Chain A
Amino acid sequence: TQLLEQSPQFLSIQEGENLTVYCNSSSVFSSLQWYRQEPGEGPVLLVTVVTGGEVKKLKRLTFQFGDARKDSSLHITAAQPGDTGLYLCAGRIFNDYKLSFGAGTTVTVRA
């Protein structure tokens, strides 16, 4: 059973459109991260959120941590082909230094 459920599994959009990826759980997390991975490479950390309700922005990417610290979303505005990749959320439960990963969302932005 996956601790973190990501949706959708696949997302294909046209350049310039917006997209949102969701990460949900029944567990409460002390922190949650979002990573982006390109084929044949390791995931690269995009952001860490630690406070319930927190919103962080990274250029055209907006990350939100749910008030109850059980869910998160990643919103990309005006997507570009360079945003194409596998987006992974990962969370750490309180008093546990291990990260649990979602199954990922494959995003394809068509030029």
Chain B
Amino acid sequence: EPEVTQTPSHQVTQMGQEVILRCVPISNHLYFYWYRQILGQKVEFLVSFYNNEISEKSEIFDDQFSVERPDGSNFTLKIRSTKLEDSAMYFCASSTSLGVGELFFGEGSRLTVL
């Protein structure tokens, strides 16, 4: 069964460092998303991406964040200068263009900022 894959599963970084989280969405999906979940809290929307551009972004997704689809398969989230409060689980998701389907989530990348 096709699945969304994310790397790394866990990354530890120092405050102020740049981090890139990588995602490979399901191959025939056209809509891509990043969500984050601070430990023990709700899953929060960060950004949606379609046709090589951002469709929508939340207040959380400030200038420190960027997304890119550098080739036909990867979808990346970059945090330019990490802060302590960026520590969270980051989930990538994708969905098809056929109606309003469910989002398929990856297993998440846990980011720890020290």
Report if A and B associate in a common complex.
no
Q: B: which residues have CB within 8 A of A?
A: none
